[in-house]
Structure 1
């Protein structure tokens, strides 16, 4: 049997920033920048306000700020609230069949702030968490979504514990205990997609990582074979029933999946399963100047697992619409875009929007593309006009913003500014972006201008 728990812990405990290639650092930096921007934009949403109201302000000097209010919270509580904010808009980045940044970044910021860690430590912690997640998921041939588990909340628990263990400079044994503690805190159900609880998955997972590393640091113990044991994490969560814990490959630290798989930045605040189809539909709308009355039918061919995630065929709220291919195609047709302004209850409930859902027809394939996403090899979209003419977009394999088709610095900054200026002034948001872009050189995470109550912000 593989010694998965110990070997992943050995990697985390020994990881140095100098071990990371430029490509790894680029991916980690991109994830941190994108997540912070989305976190700021999401902070005013009702689910965040509810969670925030349930945690008390801290009077301790080792607390961490709620973003962007600046309210001082205990670090686990800051990770919780900021994690909900980072995921509530479903605008955060995607990789490893989940959302690594939305759990890693809130945990790293909260624990890093508490410890007065530097920016280089934040990048190393991000890489540690990502690589642990990637290594464990590589040993499972099935897809967690199909079992009903949200990978962000399940694999993310291990990842955040690893990241926080790295920030705390825990030795290999304590790091293994931290990962093992987090393995019993992992939970999150796909059935709660399209509700407030999906964002709670992210907040609780970030909080769990902080808690697990702190417990381990104080001598709290767990099973050091928890990942590979016959009653352990991989078997318990296995959708295939056959995790490769006997003859699989443990190559963490040699095969850098952060460099290979990277980070996919979202251009639309909807489930990533819709993004390739949205690119195609907007392409057709723009190329042919389509109006809603021109269109008789919209045909989408996508993957079975994608369709499983997109459970809402007739959404009634903005939250439900985030998990609806029908809405995604409708918004692209009616508004010519799918942005934060469209993901509102008011837009979703418009009569013309609701009437267009019925024009969208989806078919699926069992084929899955190689890589880390359980998606079809490509999404295909065509439009049948009222005249009978059929317009077809070329199959879309990678959405714009993906690691294969990345955003430029300017494009990434445009998204960040659109999010951050909902709270900050233009100059303040610009300054924060520059700090994050140069995070490797940041001497202290505490110098990040994450709040809008600073006299020097």
Structure 2
């Protein structure tokens, strides 16, 4: 049995009971968090465009676009909700880019049509996410070297595995679905800082739904999508010294979900988060403001995503600019949805403060020493001559497994995000309903009664 068949067998055979409770808890938090992020993302320009597109496309009324309540086809609902879920770059990260937005919107659409339970969704989500995490762990895929967004390439396989589980495909159909998804993989880094990046997530979710529906209807595809030299892994993720058979045989041993996912506190690229945690820690400890700062220096990887734009001229580019995020944090004392607006991007105080921020790029050889994993320092020099430095290791980012944010904080984030679309009363009802997804029984009715604006 080859790697693809072994993977498909694991997807079919693994059940909710096989999943560690801690993995279910973390999955629940990330999926709950994403629902709020989707609602908030619906108010963004890219969210408005994708809803208009789906509305104009028509199609059978099989699933719901959140916020607006628009009824559309499964693939279009997955496309819209996935795109809106990544519109703010506020969804979780870790492992293979942004796991939850690559998987959960597809499951929501498919699950609504099947009237699945919340428990079914969590089971399928973890199984799909585990495949994606195993691929990332095994191949050590580096998106900034290869040029393909990991959310859009590994995420397609993860989402397809999840949807295959939810739809109840057998082993042969699951092999075919994965084969189909392998030919859909794509999404280039060049489009970070534009509306296309959130579209990557939407297309990933759409394609996963299409792949499993095609497979269920008898579509054919290659049977060795992972191990074939001209399949998915080598051409897309790259050659390397790794053993796909070993990966396939050890799926779920151990489960990785509970250790991989990081809830976002800031609506920007995850590459900013350790840096911002360090900066805010220094500001709290030493009680200084932007007016006190003479200079700020941040170390960055030579592959850093947050150095794509050193002088961002629009809000989406600002999400991928370390200089902008440091300056905005210093001036505003916070980084939130409003940070990434035309008003704040063009704010004179933030623009002046950006001139004080420099980045020191680590060489490839410095990175090979492993120092990057220990965290990169943020150095602040004040006008009175005092200098402060702080380092936050990636695995100690607030919101991760070793430094959890806590459900009350996640709920607070959800309430703010959902409140951009829903009434206070409906926000409270939605929190009550979705904070424990495993208890949701009537998925179709629950989505329409809680995740859609009351006036829709």
TM normalised by structure 1 equals 0.93
Maintained 8 Å contact 1:139/1:248: no
Maintained 8 Å contact 2:96/2:133: no
Shift of 1:107: 0.4
Residue 224 (structure 1) aligns with: 223
Shift of 1:382: 1.2
Distance 1:368 1:423, change over 3 A: farther
CA distance in 1, matches of 2:454, 2:63: 14
CA distance in 2, matches of 1:5, 1:358: 52
Distance 1:247 1:57, change over 3 A: closer
CA distance in 1, matches of 2:79, 2:454: 21
Residue 94 (structure 2) aligns with: 95
Q: Which has the higher helix share?
A: 2
Shift of 1:137: 2.0
SS at match of 1:232: coil
Structure 1 stretches of 5 or more lacking a match?
none
Residue 283 (structure 1) aligns with: 281
Deviations 1:357-410 (A, max 9, x none): 12111123343798xxx9642121111112322122244442111122112121
Distance 1:77 1:247, change over 3 A: closer
Deviations 1:44-86 (A, max 9, x none): 111122222222465645x111111101010100000111100
Structure 2 stretches of 5 or more lacking a match?
none
RMSD: 2.0
CA distance in 1, matches of 2:432, 2:43: 24
Residue 338 (structure 1) aligns with: 335
Maintained 8 Å contact 2:375/2:391: no
CA distance in 2, matches of 1:117, 1:350: 48
CA distance in 1, matches of 2:40, 2:259: 29
Maintained 8 Å contact 1:368/1:377: no
CA distance in 2, matches of 1:274, 1:102: 19
Correspondence list, 1:360-379, <5 A: 360-365=357-362, 366-367=366-367, 376-379=373-376
CA distance in 2, matches of 1:230, 1:124: 31
CA distance in 1, matches of 2:38, 2:126: 20
Residue 171 (structure 1) aligns with: 170
CA distance in 1, matches of 2:368, 2:213: 39
Residue 427 (structure 1) aligns with: 425
CA distance in 2, matches of 1:123, 1:247: 26
TM normalised by structure 2 equals 0.93
Correspondence list, 1:230-379, <5 A: 230-239=229-238, 241-242=239-240, 244-245=242-243, 248-250=246-248, 251-261=250-260, 263-305=261-303, 307-365=304-362, 366-367=366-367, 376-379=373-376
